[in-house]
Amino acid sequence: MTRRIQTESDIQALVGQYETMRMDFKSSRLLGTDQSKKHIVDELARDVSAFANTEGGILVIGIETGREAEKAMAVSLSDGVDPNVRKPEWLQQVVAANISPPLNGLVVRPIPLSGPRAGKVAYVIEIPKGETAHQAPDLRYYGRHELESKPLADNEIRLRMNRGRAAHATIELMTFVRLSAEAEFDQRQDELARVNEAERLEREGSDDEVGLTFIPLARQRAFDEQKTRLRAIKHSFDECTIELAIRNDGPITIRDCSLSISTQCDKNTTFTPPAENGKWLFHFLPSEVLRESYTMSGTTRKMVPIRERKLFPEHATPFPGAKFTMSFPAGRPPRECTLDWVLYLDDAPSIRGVIDLAAIARNP
């Protein structure tokens, strides 16, 4: 899931973030008057080809980068681009005309800047995932590998050229809800107040003839257990609830697939349930399901084959079982945390992608 960037505040919020599989940063110097058109074309076409041949993405022109832990990170906004010199329509034409075949859905958006950069713009280029392989002017096909644009091997090019003739899907973030330690503690206090009030009302309603109150032992134990849980000390961690969905973005109906997920995260970030041998594995179509049937003699339960599940083109649905809870120190979202997924489709090549959870946790 890549969020839209539409304002200067959106760009400012990227400062401190790493480049990802679906986001790249460029200095506004790339579009300076001292840069030749050939240099601009060569620089941009490789990245546009790489994004289109992978999972699509966003290229932001107007951010200075630095290196941290061998990774590129946004450190500040650039001085900006003069839109009267490098006009949006000129940039759109330069990019679109140098990708072959043409890439439908490519968007170039100028973002006005303020303060000392007033009158200048940053440019955001939104690059959709291509329906085939797209070539740069140097006659090479590029892809995103380890957050860089690199030439694709012959077999990878062939896979992308066959996108329109085979089943294809992507995994995306459907739910991401962050609950801070402070908010969780406040919720428990509210619930504790409700439990105390319920206990008081039950005691008042149990007055006997001599004015004594009595709650059955089982009920009192239930109240005590609830209050013990709710009075626990404030957590030292924040939690994020995560659920993944599968979207059929290809031309063929999907009938079955499996999903493998691994993580690359800071050591203080944990997941529940934990991965087994470093991975989670989910199946779109379970082979059997427990069903109940009712007869005159009672209820029977048995495992029966499940009916075929289908996912039609342009449809999305939660991926069965792909739910997690991510925890990290309170108020300190991870600097690096990704879900690396591999989707194995029936009679189609496997598909890979990355979801940058760290960026989402910092800007939920």
Identify the band that residue 175 occupies on the pLDDT scale cut at 50, 70 and 90: very high
* CA–CA–CA angle 312, 318, 323 (5° rounding): 155
**pLDDT winner (highest mean) among 207-216, 298-307, 328-337:** 328-337
Q: Is the pLDDT of residue 210 over 60?
A: no
Q: Is the pLDDT of residue 362 over 60?
A: yes
- Other Cβ atoms less than 10 A from the Cβ of 356: the count is 22
Ordered by start, the domain boundaries in the chain are 8-164, 173-178+237-362, 181-230
User: What pTM, to 2 d.p., does this model score?
Assistant: 0.58
Mean pLDDT of 116-140: 94
Q: Is the pLDDT of residue 78 over 50?
A: yes
| CATH assignment of 8-164, among 2.40.37.10, 3.30.950.30, 3.90.700.10, 3.40.50.2000 | 3.30.950.30
Q: 133-137, 239-243, 251-255: which has the minimum mean pLDDT?
A: 251-255
Q: Please say whether the structural domain 173-178+237-362 has been given the CATH code 2.60.40.
A: yes
> Bigger pLDDT: 208 or 337?
337
Cβ(323)–Cβ(273) below 8 Å: no
> Bigger pLDDT: 1 or 362?
362
Helix (H) / strand (E) containing 292: strand 288-295
- 342-353 pLDDT per residue, tens: 999 887 878 888
Beta carbons within 8 Å of 139's beta carbon, 6+ residues apart:
none
- 17-49 pLDDT per residue, tens: 888 888 999 999 999 999 999 999 999 999 999
pLDDT of residue 163: 72
pLDDT of residue 200: 83
pLDDT of residue 1: 41
Helix ranges (DSSP H) in 129-213: 154-161, 181-204
Percent of the chain at pLDDT exceeding 70: 89
Helix ranges (DSSP H) in 167-315: 181-204, 217-230
Q: Is the pLDDT of residue 91 over 90?
A: yes
- 267-316 pLDDT per residue, tens: 899 999 999 888 999 998 765 555 666 666 666 666 655 556 789 988 99
3-class DSSP state of 109: strand
Query: Over the chain, what is the mean pLDDT?
Result: 87
